Amino acid sequence: MFGLTPDEWTAIELSLRIAIVATIVALPFGLAIAWVLARKEFWGKSIVDGVVHLPLVLPPVVTGYLLLIWFGRKGPIGAFLEHTFGIVLAFRWTGAVLSCGVMGFPLMVRAVRLAIEAIDRRLEDAAATLGAGRVWVFATVTLPLALPGVIAGMVLCFAKALGEFGATITFVSNIPGETQTISAAIYTLTNVPGGDAAAGRLVLVAIVISLTALIVSEWFARRAGLRFHGE
């Protein structure tokens, strides 16, 4: 396909793996934070909301630097993870998962939060009056009705993770076969004489993957809408 070399295939496979894992790991946290922001009123809510969306407005390099300070081998969290569980994030593909997840998290939370806020609370209250607990109400009423928004949030997170560059290269560098994603590979090829053709191939692959993800998400969202809303 596109006459790709083994190194280019490696970058593509690594990018897909990182984007998929980042989206899956971010999903439960995204659902929880989105529900809290949509359904709860508490002091400091605007601060929490601001912190969640901070990666969208901060320069990606700043986010990557903060991750390096906190999750690097000498950082408080990174040192704890390494000494306690043997987990190393800096300059590893798992660190790329973390940076991509952090960058895509605000997009996921926003999409899910808007979907939850659009749900009529009387439906949740009716389920609660029938004896359902909060967790059961969320699982059987809120989540199914918010499913199109959840799917949209997952796709946005995946797309952001797939194209993430600044935070990732700052936190985990650009190591071929370990942390060199499609974006990092394109950046490297554009700085190598004669690398324009290979960079162009990777650009086409990125476009195909992103477009496919959007089409699939739209299909799932329509199916969810027909099932739960009769639209």
- Residue 48 is predicted with a pLDDT of 92
Question: CA–CA separation, 226 vs 218, rounded Å?
Answer: 12
Exposure string over 80-119, b if 16+ CB within 10 A, otherwise e = ebbeeeeeebbbbbebbbbbbbbbbbbbbbbbbbebbeeb
Q: CA–CA distance from 162 to each of 57, 101, 210 (Å)?
A: 19, 10, 8
Of these ranges, 48-62, 115-129, 202-216, the one predicted with the greatest mean pLDDT is 48-62
Distance of CA 190 to the CA centre of its chain: 26
* Banded pLDDT at 219 (limits 50, 70, 90): confident
* Banded pLDDT at 34 (limits 50, 70, 90): very high
Residues 112-141 have pLDDT tens digits of 998 898 888 888 888 778 777 788 888 888
| Comparison of pLDDT for 229 and 108, the residue scoring more | 108
| Comparison of pLDDT for 222 and 55, the residue scoring more | 55
Q: What value does the mean pLDDT of the chain take? A: 87
Look at the chain and count its residues: 231
Distance of CA 222 to the CA centre of its chain: 22
- Residue 224 is predicted with a pLDDT of 64
Average pLDDT over residues 6-20: 91
Q: CA–CA distance from 72 to each of 7, 69, 159, 191 (Å)?
A: 27, 6, 25, 28
Residues 166-181 have pLDDT tens digits of 899 999 988 888 889 9
Strand, helix or coil at 130? coil
Q: Is the pLDDT of residue 2 over 80?
A: no
Average pLDDT over residues 62-85: 91
Q: Is the pLDDT of residue 228 over 70?
A: no
Domain positions in the chain: 6-228
Average pLDDT over residues 181-189: 89
Task: Determine which of 42-56, 165-179, 204-218 has the lowest per-residue pLDDT on average.
Answer: 204-218
Predicted structure pTM score: 0.88
| Comparison of pLDDT for 119 and 105, the residue scoring more | 105
Which class is domain 6-228? mainly alpha
